[in-house]
Structure 1
Amino acid sequence: MRSLLGLTALLASARAVLAGSLPSKIYGVNIGGWLVLEPWMLPGEWETMGGSICDDCSTCIQSEWAYTKAYGQATANREFAQHWTTWFTQNDVNTLQADGINTARIPLGYWIVEPLVNRATEFYPEGGIAYLQKGVQMLADAGIQVILDHHALPGVQTPDQSFTGNCTDNVQFYTDYNYERALIWTAVMISLVHLDPAFSSVFAIEAVNEPIMDADETPNYGTFQKNFVDTVRAVELILGIPVQGLSLDTQITTSNFTEALGQVANASTVFNADVRAALAAAAPILAELAAQLSVPALLDVDLGSGVDRTSLVTTFMDINWQYDDPPNPADAAIGPQGYDNHLYYNYGGVADPDPTAYMESICNLQRVQADAALGDTPLWFGEWGLPTQFNATDEFLYMWADAQKLAYSEGQGWIFWNFKVEQSEVAGNLSRQWSYIEGVNLGYLTKDPADYHNASVCDPYVTSS
């Protein structure tokens, strides 16, 4: 059913596409707290909105779900529209451009595709997709490329985290129903990227942010990985975008894109029933979005003729994110693919909580090499920051920023969490170590992200082994 190249050829294809569309390194930031609101990053604004922050986020109004359920749809829509307007602005884009940032990773919830939400049992604000359209246009105008990150999955992919949109221990993502909804989301977003000019700077789409680390608790996740890639490539083939090693077996007899999705969904034998169902379900959603976002190409497009688009880079958390015999996302690759790893020292479990241990750990990091040995390359570090488990001095933070950048640049590059956090009395000193913009202002992060205060910072800590 699947037409695959050898793994070596696939990885070579991925590297070729990245080399052709990106700088040699990714120097990026996350646009977190925007379209997936994480209250800890903006505690003052969240309190003003009527939210709360508590030790157990499932027991108070500390997620988009809890907020919308507590205050109702109309209030949530109004308050979140204000947040979306003010949290990420043209001034922020101008600052990131001036600071040399070339990549933005945008966390998204499944509810941004509103027909996927069961409003009787699920509670999220409406209207975010118009703000996404405006945001990616601002980034494109600034020459900043974009990764769309499916950060909060239907049914919740990780327990007890506000970044999933619903802080709960009832994890239901790893079910047929929610895998299906995630594939529909994928088909919709891929279509938008290729057909809405506002999304022209998007080069990659990430399937699942931070799944549960124990693979025993993520049944059929490997099958979902393959279906995710097939869904992306199916849409691209329908649009006439060449996909090396894969071709359609269905004749498309219409210039109406949504009808073409239906034709492939009904007749193709290249893609399995799950992928075909996602294509069919995406069609009416895209018809609605064509009017809502003023993108007529979502309905009528010159399929396959003079196509000036290239395949997106499908992206997964790397194989080493999980344990207990996880599926290898490299096995799902068709065309360009990248891999993401996240590393935060402040949560513990990485190094002893003291400056020397931190430096010895980061300066001898082998994650890029370990992933490459399993086929997960190119690898970038999609989340990291300056926070520590101890009171870090200014002197240490200069070293800590340099050392992490050096380590992560051994791969395809890095994406800092976050572009900014709230600066307020209630937020205290949060921005010192969590905000990229403030890190540059304070001097810990260099104005040119490719530079270092001391490119030899790791020399005293590198071990012979």
Structure 2
Amino acid sequence: MPSALSLSLSLLGASFAAASVLPGLPDKIYGVNLGSWLVLEAWMLPAGSPSSTILNLLSLTVSKEWIAMGGQQCDDCSQCIATEFAFAEAYPDTVDQKFKTHWETWFNQPDVDQLVASGINTVRVPLGYWIVEPLVNRATEFYPRGGILQLQRGLKQLKDAGIAVILDHHALPGVASPGQMFAGRCTNDVEFYTQPNYHRALIWTAVMTALSHLDSNFATVAAIEAMNEPIMDANQTPDLGDFQKNFVQVVRAVEWSLGIPVPGYSPLSSSALGNATFSFSTAAGSSFFNSEVRQVLEDAIPVFTKVAQQIGLVPDLSSLFKKRKPLVTTFMDVNWQHNNPANPANAAAGPQGYDNHLYYSFGGVADANENAYMTSICNLNRVQADAALGNSPLWFGEWGLPTQFDASDEFLVKWADAQKLAYSKGAGWIFWNFKVEISDLAGDTARQWSYAEGLRRGYLTQDPSKLHDPNVCAPYVQQ
């Protein structure tokens, strides 16, 4: 016999199944990633080339920031100061101030103004688990402190500009992807896919969900993404399906406990909404939720309390909740993995979206020539394939203009148009990245990776909804 929780979640999922518009997100997403802001990837502001396996990305500013900060470059990013973890371990006395300078200069009001001028309506903000500082084991884990205050500041600026936000759990506790700067620590010792680190990630989820509803600066946060780019082989990600289900339940449990209208649940009375920690306790004691979700909520209480004190949060429970809608829970799509992965559609309870990343430059998609690229992108069926498995609406949360061959300016105009056309068949697109350093040692990588530079060079249209040539795919479409 189904539990009260499963019945409630089924009703909640059904109530949104026919909805074409996700709450808080535009009807069509035209976005950019704010990469290397709160999860710094040294290859994006390098003063040089980081490695042969990771490409340098994007840019507006002329800078040699990472080297100037005291970072290093090496072919194997695990062997030098190439990540936030390594930097904080090497410079424990100065890391916080150096990163504060980085955070304040890498993304600020002029950047927001440029987003508005470029017609961008959505940003995806990569975050590390360490932004919720009480989750960090300071004896063995090394990261800068103070990022949550910068997130609060940036979200206020984005809110004032009317730009929707997806908070992306990009770098997870224990490291979820081997040998990657974006994991926060470059190592092959991957330990995320274990119960203790799943639990920490769910506490992070509870805290970020609560902040998204309680702090008025978070008012345009529409979605939280459970994790960025899990290992593609599902055999190496045990119990990820359970994590997906618990992620959704934690989001909905927090919303229910805070009085956010969640279809399928009877709302709490106003008398039960004395404060956030009391509300967490209410949900932690509810039989609606499984034992792991209840334990997450209980463990989140002291963590949330510390974060709330850090940012000076004074929530207005009587007014904020009435204005908020359930967050859009977000996952990488089921086709991201192989070897019988868990389908995140099975975790859905309420509004849910799906994210796919597509880079031709890393190989395995099309032969390295113009005709093969255009034929592939103009016949792309990922939106349809995902929809057949319940992964809809789908947006393309990372893509760019890099190629495996020496692309002409003329081709990059076509390449931008064709990708935008293909990705707009779904819920929209989010370019990786907004910017990257322009410097002598960074070379010309901004040409193909920077949205701002793509606009300046004319590859991308000033109105993101438009194409230079709406018929760009006509010669390549196969019947």
Task: Specify the TM-score bucket, using the shorter chain as the normaliser.
Answer: over 0.9
Provide the residue aligned with 1:207 in structure 2. 226
Q: CA deviation at 1:255?
A: 0.5
2:182 pairs, out of 163, 167, 174, with 163
Q: CA deviation at 1:24?
A: 2.2
TM-score, normalised to structure 2's length? 0.92
What is the identity, as a one-letter code, of the residue corresponding to 1:283? I
What aligned pairs does 1:414-433 form with structure 2 within 5 A after superposition?
A: 414-433=429-448
Q: Which moved more, 1:61-70 or 1:334-343?
A: 61-70
Following the alignment from structure 2 to structure 1, what is the Cα–Cα distance between the partners of residues 177 and 15? 32
Following the alignment from structure 2 to structure 1, what is the Cα–Cα distance between the partners of residues 194 and 68? 37
Percent sequence identity over matched residues?
61
What aligned pairs does 1:307-318 form with structure 2 within 5 A after superposition?
A: 307-318=322-333
Following the alignment from structure 1 to structure 2, what is the Cα–Cα distance between the partners of residues 242 and 249? 9
The higher-RCO structure (CA 8 Å, 6+ apart) is 2
Provide the residue aligned with 1:67 in structure 2. 87
* Superposition CA RMSD, Å: 1.9
What aligned pairs does 1:183-332 form with structure 2 within 5 A after superposition?
A: 183-247=202-266, 253=272, 255-265=274-284, 267-297=285-315, 301-302=317-318, 307-332=322-347
1:34 pairs, out of 14, 17, 37, with 37
SS at match of 2:380: coil
Residues 31 and 87 of structure 1, relative CA distance in 2, 3 Å threshold: same
CA contact (8 A) 1:4 1:334 kept: no
Q: How many matched pairs?
A: 459
Provide the residue aligned with 1:48 in structure 2. 68
Residues 12 and 452 of structure 1, relative CA distance in 2, 3 Å threshold: farther
What is the identity, as a one-letter code, of the residue corresponding to 1:342? H
Q: CA deviation at 1:16?
A: 2.9
Q: CA deviation at 1:56?
A: 1.2
CA contact (8 A) 2:12 2:264 kept: no
Q: CA deviation at 1:286?
A: 2.0
What aligned pairs does 1:120-139 form with structure 2 within 5 A after superposition?
A: 120-139=139-158
Provide the residue aligned with 2:413 in structure 1. 398
CA contact (8 A) 2:127 2:168 kept: yes
What is the identity, as a one-letter code, of the residue corresponding to 1:82? T
Following the alignment from structure 1 to structure 2, what is the Cα–Cα distance between the partners of residues 62 and 236? 38
CA contact (8 A) 1:158 1:164 kept: yes
Following the alignment from structure 1 to structure 2, what is the Cα–Cα distance between the partners of residues 315 and 370? 18
Provide the residue aligned with 1:22 in structure 2. 25
Following the alignment from structure 1 to structure 2, what is the Cα–Cα distance between the partners of residues 407 and 7? 32
SS at match of 2:185: coil
Is 1:365 aligned with 2:380?
Answer: yes
Residues 356 and 306 of structure 1, relative CA distance in 2, 3 Å threshold: closer
CA contact (8 A) 2:256 2:268 kept: no
CA contact (8 A) 1:398 1:444 kept: yes
2:125 pairs, out of 106, 114, 132, with 106
Deviations 1:120-157 (A, max 9, x none): 00010100000000101111111110000000000011
Q: Which moved more, 1:448-457 or 1:13-22?
A: 13-22
Following the alignment from structure 1 to structure 2, what is the Cα–Cα distance between the partners of residues 339 and 91? 30
Q: CA deviation at 1:99?
A: 0.5
CA contact (8 A) 2:259 2:267 kept: no
CA contact (8 A) 1:252 1:260 kept: no
CA contact (8 A) 2:259 2:273 kept: no
SS at match of 1:149: strand
What is the identity, as a one-letter code, of the residue corresponding to 1:48? A
Residues 19 and 58 of structure 1, relative CA distance in 2, 3 Å threshold: closer
Deviations 1:332-372 (A, max 9, x none): 00000000000001111111111111111111100000000
Residues 107 and 15 of structure 1, relative CA distance in 2, 3 Å threshold: farther
Structure 2: state its 5+ residue gaps: 47-63
Q: Which moved more, 1:407-416 or 1:12-21?
A: 12-21
Q: CA deviation at 1:21?
A: 3.5
CA contact (8 A) 1:30 1:418 kept: yes
What is the identity, as a one-letter code, of the residue corresponding to 1:13? F
Q: CA deviation at 1:240?
A: 1.5
Following the alignment from structure 1 to structure 2, what is the Cα–Cα distance between the partners of residues 189 and 89? 21
SS at match of 1:275: helix
Following the alignment from structure 1 to structure 2, what is the Cα–Cα distance between the partners of residues 228 and 235? 11
What is the identity, as a one-letter code, of the residue corresponding to 1:64? E
Following the alignment from structure 1 to structure 2, what is the Cα–Cα distance between the partners of residues 237 and 19? 19
Following the alignment from structure 2 to structure 1, what is the Cα–Cα distance between the partners of residues 222 and 191? 29
Deviations 1:348-400 (A, max 9, x none): 11111111111111111000000000000000000000011111100000000
CA contact (8 A) 1:14 1:313 kept: no
Structure 1: state its 5+ residue gaps: none
Provide the residue aligned with 2:49 in structure 1. none
SS at match of 1:419: coil
Q: CA deviation at 1:6?
A: 8.9
TM-score, normalised to structure 1's length? 0.95
CA contact (8 A) 1:11 1:336 kept: no
